[in-house]
Amino acid sequence: MLMILAASRDMKERERNICTKEMIRGFNDLAQEAETEITGGQTVMNPWPIIGGVATSVCTEEEFIRPEHLEVGDVILLTKPLGTQVAVNAHQWLSLDNSYWKKIEDIITPEEVKYAYETAMYSMARLNRNGAKLMLKYKAHGATDVTGFGILGHATNLAENQSSPMNIELHTLPIIKKMADVEKKVELFQLMEGYSAETSGGLLVCLSAENAQKFIAEIEELDQQPAWIIGRVVENNTGNKNSAKITEDVSVIDV
């Protein structure tokens, strides 16, 4: 794995040294947890700190689940909550005491913002490693991560990748507590429409109903965090290309 690092030139030298060191330490800790190692990378100066990486893996066909074998009747589960983008922004607005904070301060307390931010932070720091292993154990028919395109964007991509006619319906959205309320107030992220970007989001996994319950029970035991059944794979008899949608009666679970 390669590390891509930017140290902040706008920080004081002592602050920059401490923050950069801790960023590298956290990155390395998770690399070790993932049982991989950092072999190189690049470092630059930047107005704000950035860290990321590029990972390469080699596996056999048996170790890889192609995202193209969904079956009508599959249930869909999600391993991490939605709303990280909203939570991080709300925390920044609180810190800056800016106009956006003024817009939401009547619907959410500073303590609730901090809870949301910490929930998002720990979610983003949690690897999808156990979920990926369980996909193999419980014979998932396909999956996608939920990141920059939002949950509906990635679900649509997964549906369109199937060779047989079928659609994806999402009936439940597990969202970090109060973030749906914040989004309704500011209307910036399209969270309820399914297009809010997630950073280090969870896995959206399609598998049989029987195996889904076993998957959820085991990942909750391993990660000490919940997972949820959020949708289903249904027939597509319309003659149109495969698609995904959030149902009109969608349920929201506060996380």
Mean pLDDT is lowest, of 53-57, 84-88, 194-198, for 53-57
Q: Which helix (H) or strand (E) holds 59?
A: none
Residue whose structure tokens are 């109060």: 178
The pLDDT score that the predictor gives to residue 4 is: 96
Which residue stretches of the chain are H helix?
13-33, 84-96, 99-104, 110-125, 129-137, 150-160, 179-186, 209-223
The pLDDT score that the predictor gives to residue 132 is: 96
Q: How far apart are CA 242 and CA 238, in angstroms?
A: 9
Q: How far apart are CA 71 and CA 134, in angstroms?
A: 18
Contact, 80 vs 202, CB < 8 A?
yes
Q: How far is CA 129 from CA 23, 105, 136, 177, 202, in A?
A: 21, 37, 11, 25, 10
Q: How far apart are CA 178 and CA 112, in angstroms?
A: 8
% of the chain at pLDDT higher than 90: 97
How much is the average pLDDT of 78-97? Answer: 98
Picking from 253, 194, 192, the residue whose alpha carbon sits closest to that of residue 228 is 253
The pLDDT score that the predictor gives to residue 36 is: 93
Q: How far is CA 79 from CA 44, 140, 182, 192, in A?
A: 34, 14, 23, 18
How much is the average pLDDT of 205-224? Answer: 97
Cα-Cα-Cα-Cα dihedral sign, residues 169, 220, 63, 81: positive
Q: How far apart are CA 116 and CA 168, in angstroms?
A: 29
